[in-house]
Structures are given as C-alpha cells and as structure tokens.
C-alpha cells in the first residue's frame, strides 16, 4: 500500500431503517399505490406526462384540473392507477398502514379551520436521498463523514464541559466553532478531518435495494400517565421512504487517508498528533461513541415493560454485538454508525455530564428548557398509531476492507431480517408485462389519432372541393346538390354509425320527402330549369331518397313525378 495515500473499501449494512431526507416528496399526482393481494402494496412512481390516456380519460382529467379542486385531481390518479402503473420509473413497497391511508383518506377533508377552509389529506411521502441517474437511494459521503466527525470530536473532548460555546440570549447554542477549532487544533485548513476523504456510499453492483415507505412516530421515552391514560408525544407523524435493514453489504464506497509526513507546519497542515493514520483508529472512535448510545437506547425503549422496540429485533442485535461480529467491532475492522435526521439529538451531541444542551420545547406558551437528553424518540412503524414493537432509525455497521466469506453471522442476521419481504422479482415481471401492454396501447391510440387526423383532413379536402364545385354551378344545380348533401349527412348517422332512422314518405310532414316534392314543383313551374337540370334532379332523388326515406315504393316515385322530370310522362 502506498504510504502516502491509503485507500480503504467500506461496506455498509443497515441494522435498522435509514431515512436521509433530500427535500423532495412523492405527491399523489406522481405516484399511485396498488395492492395485488399477493406481493403486498407497492408504490409506483412516474412522470404523469408519460401516461397514455384515451379521449374520455383525458377529458375527465382536464375537467378535474379545470375545477381547481385538488381532491378531484388526486382521486383521478388513485382511481385510475392501472393507467399510470405501466409508466412507472420505480417501484417501492409501502407498509400496510400507508396503503390503507392512501385508499381511505386520499383527498378527504382532514379538518376544517375556523375560517371554514377545508384542510385535505395530500398524503405527501418524504423521499430519501437518491441518485438522479439510477433513482436508487445512496448515502452521501458528507452525511457519513458528519457522523464520524461527531465521534472524533467526542473522543477528543473526553467528556469535558466546554467553556467556549457561544450562546444567544435565549440560551440556544449559537456557535460551537470555537470549541471545534480548539479540539481539532485549527480550522478547515489545519483540521485533521480535512485528510479524511469519503466517497458517496452507492448501492452494491447489480443490487436492487429493499425499501419501504413507513411511518415515523414520536413516542415519549418515559411513560406518563394522566387521568388513567398514557400521554402521547406531540411530534407529527410522517410517511418516509426508508432503506430497510438486513441488507448485507448493501452500500460500498472508498475512503482515502493521505499522509502529509514529513510536513509538520502547524500553520498550513493539521497537527501531527491528530492526523488520522489508520481507519481502524477512526472505527474505534465511532464504536466508543455509538455502542454506548445503542445500549442506552435499547434500555430506554424496552424499559418498564413498555415494549416500544421490537423484541425480536432487539434480541438479535444484542446477540450480534455479543458474538463473533462483536469481536470485529472490538478490533476496529468494523464500526457502528448512526445516520439520518431521526437518529435523535443524542447521536449528534458530545458525551459527558452538562456537556450536551438539547432544546426541549415546552407546552404552548411556555418557554423551552435545555436538557442533556431528549424527552421523546422517533421510531419506524408500519401504522401511524403504533406504539409497540417499533424500530429505531439510522443504525448501521460498516466493515473495513471486507473479504468474501467473512462476517457469516452478519450475513445470516440479514437473511433472517429480510424474510417475508415482497418479492420484487415477481412484481417486476408483472410490471414488464403491463408495460408491454401499455406500449401496445400507446401505439394503437397513436394510430387511431393518426387515422382521425387523416379523416379530418380528407373531410376538409372534400368540403373544399364541394365549395369549389358549388361555386361553379348554376342556381338550380346548387339546390340539387344542397339537398343531396343533406341526405348524405343524414345517411351517415344511421346504423351502425348512429341512431338516426329513415324519415316518413309524407309530403305533409317536414323532411326530405317534403323538400323533394317542393323542389320538383319548382323545377316544373319556374323558368331557368333546363331539361338537363330536371333529369339531374330526378337521378339524385332516385339515388338518395331511398337511403333516408321509407317506405320507398312505386307509389312514392309516382308522387314525386320522377318520370315527368325526365320528360317521359
């Protein structure tokens, strides 16, 4: 290994659900949730502009949009999931609670404000950090390094109460820059953390990550009973896309530690005594910081028999840490880390009595207090009202330069945790079939649209030709052609194309027969009608009236005096 540049391969295995927010939400106009009853409910995320709608569906969506009512728009997408599923760019399983809430409450009025305005359930789902190329989750190197930074600072501080933290007049921590600069013996240029370079942790090759949209629920660490009932925490429940636990070496990245030896200039380089020379040292710092917090959290979540944490998961984690994999942690060949916002403030503060100062919001109208620990904890749940057998957020283990075949106990743990999850292979197979059907439908609709365009263009050409022909006709021939066109238009609306019926052959009732009778009378009585005009009128009536008038027999022909028009009577 090059002594100037040490490169390490890191492999991360999630121990509990991980959510690292990216500031984006799934909204009901770019996702639908469908449950086929076999594989469990799945979210299908799509660009709505790619969907193919027939004329009727397009009119319905346009009407919903024009109404200005978001309820109508969101319900259209939900009720027409089959139209949008085949155009999905990605699929994510969702918990049963999220699926039920989508089915029952999407677009429903959640509450009514005093002003009378309705507040509706928009059911936004918070996305985790993802790659814009693959649309798959990843763990930013900055988030990863930030978690390690806290552990390193904690190790350097040695539980000493800092005296160089600046506070605002309300008691909030305003700046820890001076403290960090003291611990690291410098600012950015001279900070030893400048030497720690970690790439984004990306999904392992050829791997589709297990994800799920779950709830984050807020629960009180200490049980409080009031009027015989347990007091619930007030944190808002939210729906979050999570990377699921139990995925062996799901993420990979390289970490680099450059050596600056023999440069010792304290003004331009980090202090030689603080420079990280081996990632195992960093691993041990992370373990010292995070293992104590994991143990403490498990005790709190399982305290007083409340059973906040899933007992099977808790038991398996304790066995994993106490077994052979625990030895790997002890040697620094692997380390524990906490990622994401919902790891809690304790995972982002330094250890020691009177060191942490966490702002705790009071009741409405009451000032906040400042404590060394939080009063509540965020946990991952399948339903929004769950308070038992939940999972903490953000725990993971990272192996340094892992080898094929080692850590069999971690791999076995992952296999056990992943049991019962949706079979994405089967879901994808069905999706591909639906996608092919959608492609075929798109082609058929495009062909139909092209045919309609061609038909309209043909009609326009015929109409132009008719206008041009009419312009060159005599007044008598124009009258003949006008009546013929009216007969043709009516005939086109008769079965099977339409519901028009043949008209009665009655000169006393308005209609084609009466119009024809009047025109025959004019042809015989008015000057200007040539023998050719009269014959043309007779030919037109004999060709078209039988198509639109009934009955049509010898008697009807006699009433119109067609033979006389031809000069035969």
Helices (H), 248-385: 279-301, 311-322, 324-331
Contact present, 417 and 246 (Cβ < 8 Å): yes
Q: Please report the pLDDT score of residue 169 as a whole number.
A: 43
Q: Which residue has the tokens 């009595």?
A: 353
Show the low-confidence residues of the chain (pLDDT under 70): 1-3, 107-121, 163-175, 188, 228, 230-231, 260, 262-268, 270, 272-274, 304, 344-345, 347, 352-373, 569
Phi/psi for 537 (5° steps) reads -65, -45
Residues in contact with 518: Cβ distance below 8 Å, sequence separation at least 6, in sequence order = none
DSSP state of 507: T
Here the tokens at position 506 are: 């009655």
Here the tokens at position 86 are: 């085949």
Cα separation, 148 vs 287, whole angstroms: 10
Q: Please report the pLDDT score of residue 398 as a whole number.
A: 97
Q: Please report the pLDDT score of residue 462 as a whole number.
A: 85
* pTM summary value: 0.76
Here the tokens at position 173 are: 């921590």
Contact present, 21 and 128 (Cβ < 8 Å): yes
- Alpha-carbon torsion angle 158, 159, 162, 166, nearest 10: 110
Taking only the tens place, the pLDDT of each residue in 363-388 is 666 666 666 667 788 999 999 888 88
Q: Please report the pLDDT score of residue 1 as a whole number.
A: 43
Long-range contacts of 303-311 (CB under 8 A, 24+ apart): 304/223, 306/223, 306/388, 307/388, 307/389, 308/219, 308/377, 308/379, 308/387, 308/388, 308/389, 308/390, 309/379, 309/389, 309/390, 309/391, 309/392, 310/389, 310/390, 310/391, 311/389
E strands, 118-208, are 118-120, 125-128, 166-167, 173-175, 197-198, 202-203
Cα separation, 202 vs 251, whole angstroms: 5
Q: Please report the pLDDT score of residue 306 as a whole number.
A: 77
Q: Please report the pLDDT score of residue 229 as a whole number.
A: 73
**CA 307 to chain CA mean position, Å:** 33
Q: Please report the pLDDT score of residue 117 as a whole number.
A: 53
Q: Please report the pLDDT score of residue 100 as a whole number.
A: 92
Pairing of strands 549-550, 503-504: parallel
């Amino acid at each position: 290994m090059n002594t100037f540049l040490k490169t390490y391969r890191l492999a991360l295995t999630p121990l509990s659900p991980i959510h690292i927010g990216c500031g984006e939400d799934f909204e009901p106009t770019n996702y639908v949730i469908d449950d086929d009853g076999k594989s469990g409910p799945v979210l299908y995320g799509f660009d709505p502009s790619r969907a193919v709608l027939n004329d009727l569906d397009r009119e319905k969506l346009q009407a919903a949009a024009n109404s200005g009512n978001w309820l109508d728009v969101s319900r259209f997408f939900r009720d027409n999931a089959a139209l949008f599923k085949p155009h999905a760019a990605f699929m994510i399983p969702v918990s049963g609670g999220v699926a039920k809430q989508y089915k029952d409450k999407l677009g429903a009025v959640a509450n009514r404000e005093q002003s009378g305005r309705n507040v509706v359930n928009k059911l936004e789902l918070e996305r985790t950090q993802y790659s814009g190329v693959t649309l798959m989750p990843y763990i930013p190197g900055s988030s990863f390094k930030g978690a390690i930074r806290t552990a390193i600072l904690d190790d350097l501080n040695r539980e000493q109460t800092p005296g160089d933290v600046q506070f605002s007049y309300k008691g909030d921590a305003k700046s820890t820059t001076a403290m960090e600069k003291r611990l690291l013996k410098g600012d950015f240029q001279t900070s030893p953390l400048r030497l720690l370079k970690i790439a984004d942790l990306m999904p392992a090759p050829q791997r589709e990550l297990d994800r799920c949209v779950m709830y984050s629920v807020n629960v009180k660490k200490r049980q409080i009973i009031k009027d015989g009932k347990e007091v619930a925490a007030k944190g808002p429940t939210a729906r979050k896309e999570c990377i699921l636990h139990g995925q062996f070496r799901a993420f990979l990245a390289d970490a680099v530690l450059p050596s600056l030896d023999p440069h010792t200039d304290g003004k331009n380089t980090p202090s030689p005594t603080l420079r990280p020379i081996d990632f195992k040292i960093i691993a041990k710092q992370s373990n010292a910081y995070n293992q104590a917090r994991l143990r403490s959290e498990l005790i709190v979540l399982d305290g007083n028999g409340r059973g906040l944490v899933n007992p099977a998961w808790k038991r398996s984690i304790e066995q994993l840490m106490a077994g052979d994999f625990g030895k790997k942690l002890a040697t620094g060949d692997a380390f524990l880390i906490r990622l994401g916002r919902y790891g809690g403030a304790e995972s982002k503060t330094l250890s020691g009595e009177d060191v942490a100062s966490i702002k705790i919001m009071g009741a409405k109208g009451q000032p906040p207090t400042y404590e060394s620990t939080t009063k509540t904890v965020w946990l991952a749940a399948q339903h929004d009202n769950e308070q038992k057998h939940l999972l903490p957020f953000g725990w993971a283990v990272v192996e340094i330069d892992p080898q094929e075949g080692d850590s069999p106990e971690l791999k076995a743990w992952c296999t056990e945790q992943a049991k019962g999850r949706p079979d994405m292979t089967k879901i994808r197979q069905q999706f591909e079939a639906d996608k092919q059907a959608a492609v075929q439908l798109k082609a058929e609709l495009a062909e139909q649209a092209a045919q309609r365009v061609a038909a309209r263009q043909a009609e326009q050409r015929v109409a132009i030709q008719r206008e041009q022909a009419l312009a060159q006709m005599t007044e008598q021939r124009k009258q003949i052609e006008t009546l013929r066109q009216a007969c043709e238009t009516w005939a086109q609306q008769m079965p099977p194309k339409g519901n028009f019926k043949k008209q009665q052959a009655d000169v006393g009732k308005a209609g084609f027969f009466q119009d024809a009778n009047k025109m025959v009378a004019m042809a015989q009585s008015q000057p200007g009608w040539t023998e050719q005009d009269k014959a043309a009128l007779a030919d037109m009536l004999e060709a078209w009236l039988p198509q639109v008038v009934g009955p049509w027999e010898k008697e009807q022909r006699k009433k119109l005096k067609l033979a006389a028009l031809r000069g035969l009577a």
